[in-house]
Structure 1
Amino acid sequence: MTTDRRPGAFVAVVGPSGAGKDTVMGRVRDRLTDEARFVFVRRVVTRDPNGGEDHDCLDPAGFAAAAAGGAYVLSWQAHGLGYGIPAAYGRMADDGAVVIANLSRAVLPAARARFPRFRVLEITAPPAVLAARLKARGRESDAEIEARLARGDAGVTGPDVVSIDNGGALEAAVDAAVGVLRGL
């Protein structure tokens, strides 16, 4: 019997600011460190390195040239920045790895079209938890936080979406994410 499924998978991690995507995925990465089939993407971003996300940096002109040259399996613009997933990660998924990347919801259609085995891990939290976390980060004023929450970042839908509530115990969210990934 033949199958049209490729052995690997691509997993997009999405969710609103303050949901704890990076925290959850950092703990998931720690748990899966000895399992070679799981690969966590290091994105390319047109932003200087900072204390947040671990990423590679390119200036906007270098990023545009790299994108035009096919350097990314997925790329997008958000919040005035360019984001790219290096093409090597696409080949890894094609060759059997489970590749996990923080993506923008705007690029999900392109990712779904590119990867036959695709999942979305939507990390969520209740609005009050999001507000408290955003305030603790100190990057936005109270008015900006209120506006962000009022925007109501709508969740994603589809049969490939698994929502994980990170409003309670962190380990519960980590356990749920690890279970989804190991199930692929």
Structure 2
Amino acid sequence: MGRSGRLVLVVGPSGVGKDSVLDGARAALKDNPDVVFPRRVVTRAPGLGGEDYIPASEADFAAMAARGDFALHWPAHGLHYGIPQSIENDFAAGRQVVVNVSRGSIDEARRKYPGLLVIGITASPDVLRRRLEQRGRESPAEIEERLGRAAAFTLQGDDVAILNNDGALKDTVQAFLALLQKRR
């Protein structure tokens, strides 16, 4: 295939702190050209906070997908997400490519990118409830729905590593960085 790099998928229920862990890892690795964190294309208006994404309209996203501009893309929670095809250049250069994806895209990624690593980020139900309530984006009913989905969240496979993010963020970030190094 001509790939010497590796895809690292980061997955986990909403509210477990994936963006915070990724932000911490990105900051720690800012001077390391061998690990990249590509921006996702998202059908969301610009400037809504959270991750640094590339906004796209539904029509533009559909056109990009039809042209083959995405290495991976998927719908989730009423939006569409895409990972730019340019990650192929990073693989060819031997880089690790770290992306936040929906667990529904894992099987496709496994088919396209053998040897990948899936890092599942979790949090206990009490911690997750508190975080969801604090961020104030969901109604109480939506929080209960998210907690139910989180309880059903499972990952399986030899390519999976699980990180619990109940404690200090810096500890989870260090464990994340160790996985990137160890599982090379």
TM-score, reference length from structure 1: 0.94
Q: In the comparison of the two structures, how many residue pairs are matched? A: 181
Tell me the equivalent position of 1:25: 22
Q: CA deviation at 1:6?
A: 4.0
Q: CA deviation at 1:155?
A: 1.9
Q: CA deviation at 1:78?
A: 1.1
Secondary structure in 2 aligned to 1:150?
helix
Moved more, 49-58 or 35-44: 49-58
Whole-angstrom distance in 1 between the partners of 2:50 and 2:170: 21
Tell me the equivalent position of 1:63: 61
Secondary structure in 1 aligned to 2:86?
helix
Q: CA deviation at 1:35?
A: 1.0
Q: CA deviation at 1:39?
A: 0.3
Secondary structure in 2 aligned to 1:157?
coil
> Gaps spanning 5+ residues in structure 1: where?
none
Secondary structure in 2 aligned to 1:68?
helix
Tell me the equivalent position of 1:175: 174
Tell me the equivalent position of 2:106: 108
In structure 2, what residue type is equivalent to 1:33?
K
> Gaps spanning 5+ residues in structure 2: where?
none
Q: Which runs of 4+ in 1 moved over 3 A?
A: none
In structure 1, what residue type is equivalent to 2:37?
F
Q: Deviations over 1:80-126 (max 9, x none)?
A: 11110000013312331100000000000111111122001111110
1:1-20 paired onto structure 2 within 5 Å: 6-20=3-17
Q: Could you tell me the percent identity over the aligned residues?
A: 47
Whole-angstrom distance in 2 between the partners of 1:77 and 1:110: 13
Q: CA deviation at 1:5?
A: 8.8
Q: Deviations over 1:120-165 (max 9, x none)?
A: 1111110100000000110111222112212324121111011001
Distance 1:56 1:182, change over 3 A: same
Distance 1:179 1:41, change over 3 A: same
